[in-house]
């Protein structure tokens, strides 16, 4: 598939996803603003001590990916209890029994967005005892966000997913590696992770 066709397919998926995810900020798509070099994103103590894990820890990557694959399987099968078991949070739509069909549509969108992602594409990982961020290289950067139970770091939950598109002028701006672990309010959650909480 040529670059233009691939971009057209991604944009078509984006339009459908935007409509379905209008009230759910867990899955977001953005494009960096060339003038500011940051993503434009479309429409939860005391200070803990952190044990920062190696940036490319294979075990963390494998564990997070297994959780994500199971999460996608639950979404594909409309298994809400299963999805709840692997989610950090559930959208208001899926928490409302009267909106079951809308919830299933959200699940279908999640699967259509992420069902073709491959572990081999996620060459970068940042993690500590509370969160994991995995991301791909550009130009279409996919970012997966997970939370961890700091008392059991093997208890991993899916928090969300973002896509960001880079071009020649904005390459390297979707993920700011020098600030990915910023925690302005000092509560232990990185700002990029906390921005997905609702």
List pLDDT tens digits, range 169-196.
777 777 777 778 888 888 888 888 888 8
- Asked if omega into 139 is within 30° of 0 (cis), the reply is yes
Query: Higher confidence at residue 14 or residue 161?
Result: 161
In this prediction the pTM is 0.69
- Cβ atoms of 10 and 141 within 8 Å: the answer is no
- Cβ atoms of 82 and 153 within 8 Å: the answer is no
Residue 29 forms beta bridges with which residues?
163
pLDDT of 93 > 50? The answer is: yes
pLDDT of 45 > 50? The answer is: no
- Model pLDDT, residue 98: 93
- Cβ atoms of 20 and 106 within 8 Å: the answer is yes
- Model pLDDT, residue 47: 35
Give tens-digit pLDDT for 70-90. Answer: 999 999 999 999 999 999 988
Cβ burial of 174 (10 Å; 0-12, 13-18, 19+) is buried
The alpha-helical segments, DSSP class H, found in the chain are 3-20, 58-76, 80-86, 100-114, 191-194
- Model pLDDT, residue 195: 82
- Model pLDDT, residue 23: 41
Give the number of other CB atoms < 10 A from CB of residue 38: 15
Which of the four pLDDT bands, split at 50, 70 and 90, describes residue 54?
very low
- Cβ atoms of 132 and 125 within 8 Å: the answer is yes
pLDDT of 146 > 90? The answer is: yes
Q: Distance between CA atoms of 21 and 4, rounded to whole angstroms? A: 25
Query: What is the domain partition of the chain in residue ranges?
Result: 3-194
């Amino acid at each position: 598939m040529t670059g233009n066709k691939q971009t057209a397919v991604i944009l078509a998926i984006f339009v459908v996803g935007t409509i379905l995810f209008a009230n759910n900020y867990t899955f977001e798509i953005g494009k960096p603003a060339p003038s500011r070099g940051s993503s434009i994103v479309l429409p939860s103590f005391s200070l803990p001590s952190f044990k920062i894990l190696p940036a490319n820890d294979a075990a963390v990557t494998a564990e997070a990916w297994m959780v994500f694959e199971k999460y996608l399987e639950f979404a594909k099968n409309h298994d809400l209890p299963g999805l709840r078991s692997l989610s950090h949070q559930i959208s208001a739509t899926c928490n409302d029994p009267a909106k079951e069909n809308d919830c299933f549509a959200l699940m279908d969108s999640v699967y259509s967005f992420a069902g073709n992602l491959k572990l081999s594409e996620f060459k970068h990982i940042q993690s500590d005892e509370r969160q994991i961020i995995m991301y791909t290289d550009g130009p279409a950067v996919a970012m997966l966000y997970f939370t961890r139970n700091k008392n059991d770091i093997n208890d991993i939950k899916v928090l969300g997913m973002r896509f960001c598109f880079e071009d020649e002028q904005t390459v390297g701006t979707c993920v700011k590696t020098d600030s990915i672990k910023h925690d302005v309010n000092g509560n232990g959650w990185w700002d990029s992770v906390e921005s997905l909480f609702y």
